[in-house]
Amino acid sequence: MLLLLLLCASLIPVISQSPTSSSYPGQVVKKMESNACTLVVCRPAERVLPGRDGRDGIVGPQGKKGDQGLQGAIGLQGPQGITGPSGPKGDRGPTGEKGAKGDTGDRGECQQNNLELSPYFLALTFPNGKIVGDKIFMTSGYEGNFDDLKKKCMQAGGQLASPRNNEENAAVQQIVFTHDKSVFLGINDIQTEGKFTYLDGKPIVYSNWQPGEPNNDKGIEDCVQVFSTGKWNDKSCDERLLILCEF
């Protein structure tokens, strides 16, 4: 309840006081100049309690980026990585030393060799052949000089045909006639001119020379060929004739 007072100057000294000496906060005293009326507005003196705390303010704008910090300490070692792909093939290494000699082969290899020499195997290797007694004459159709044919027959497990009687010579003749190609026999006089021997060096025990042969024509005929008639002729070993082996 406001109390409005209009007092004259005579009354001023009664209520005029300095604001600093007021006994209560919030009391307002307006002091007028002397010789004038003074308007004094008063409010009932009361104890003023402090107000409530204000609300939090809004978040301010983001500050500037700070300076770079100091380098940190070295961290712990990480786990091992996965295995990478295989690299390119390396260069070939030097040849190693020769190994020790191996043990003797088992019985199976011997059986296989017997199989290769069996009539069945020979029949397949040399399909065009003749059987005389326990000897087999066969050709594969291959042609070559004396040394070449001799080597081929040995590699096949036999040797060049070396007929030792009329029956065996007849078998050779039939093969020559059938193929219409002359063959070399396993007979020659390479070691000693005029002395024909088998491949093992022993003198021949049978022959069927063409009349007038052997004549060692031009001094270069040291091997023996068989004509389609079954007759023999000494011939240069460098001639290329049909192969005929005996087993």
DSSP-derived 3-state class of residue 64:
coil
**Short-list 219, 223, 216, CA closest to 148:** 223
The one among 112, 118, 191, 216 contacting Ca ion by CB under 5 A? 216
For the bound state, the minimum distance from the C-beta of residue 236 to Ca ion, rounded and expressed in Å, comes to: 9
Burial letters 188-198, b for 16+ CB under 10 A, else e: bbeeeeeebbb
**CA 192 to chain CA centroid, nearest Å:** 60
Measured from the Cβ of residue 182, the count of other Cβ atoms closer than 10 Å reads 16
Stretch that binds Ca ion, among 78-86, 97-105, 213-221, 237-245 (CB under 5 A): 213-221
The one among 173, 221, 230, 242 contacting Ca ion by CB under 5 A: 221
Peptide bond connecting 214 to the previous residue in cis, omega within 30 degrees of 0: yes
- The nearer residue to Ca ion, 129 or 230, going by C-beta atoms, is 230
Among the listed residues 116, 117, 122, 120, the one whose alpha carbon sits nearest the alpha carbon of residue 137: 122
Subset of 169-198 contacting Ca ion (CB under 5 A)? 189
CB nearer Ca ion, residue 47 or residue 218: 218
Least distance to Ca ion, CB of residue 127, Å: 31
Query: Which residue, 110 or 220, has its beta carbon nearer to Ca ion?
Result: 220
- How many residues touch Ca ion under the rule CB under 5 A: the total is 9
Nearer to Ca ion, 31 or 195 (CB): 195
- The residue within the footprint of Ca ion, chosen from 171, 175, 222, 237 (CB under 5 A), is 222
User: What whole-number distance in Å separates Cα of residue 229 and Cα of residue 178?
Assistant: 11
- Strand 128-132 versus strand 223-226 pairing type: unpaired
Of residues 27 and 239, the one with the C-beta less far from Ca ion: 239
Segment contacting Ca ion by CB under 5 A, of 59-67, 76-84, 129-137, 232-240:
232-240
Amino acid at 41: V
Contacts with Ca ion, residue ranges (CB under 5 A): 189, 213, 215-217, 221-222, 233-234
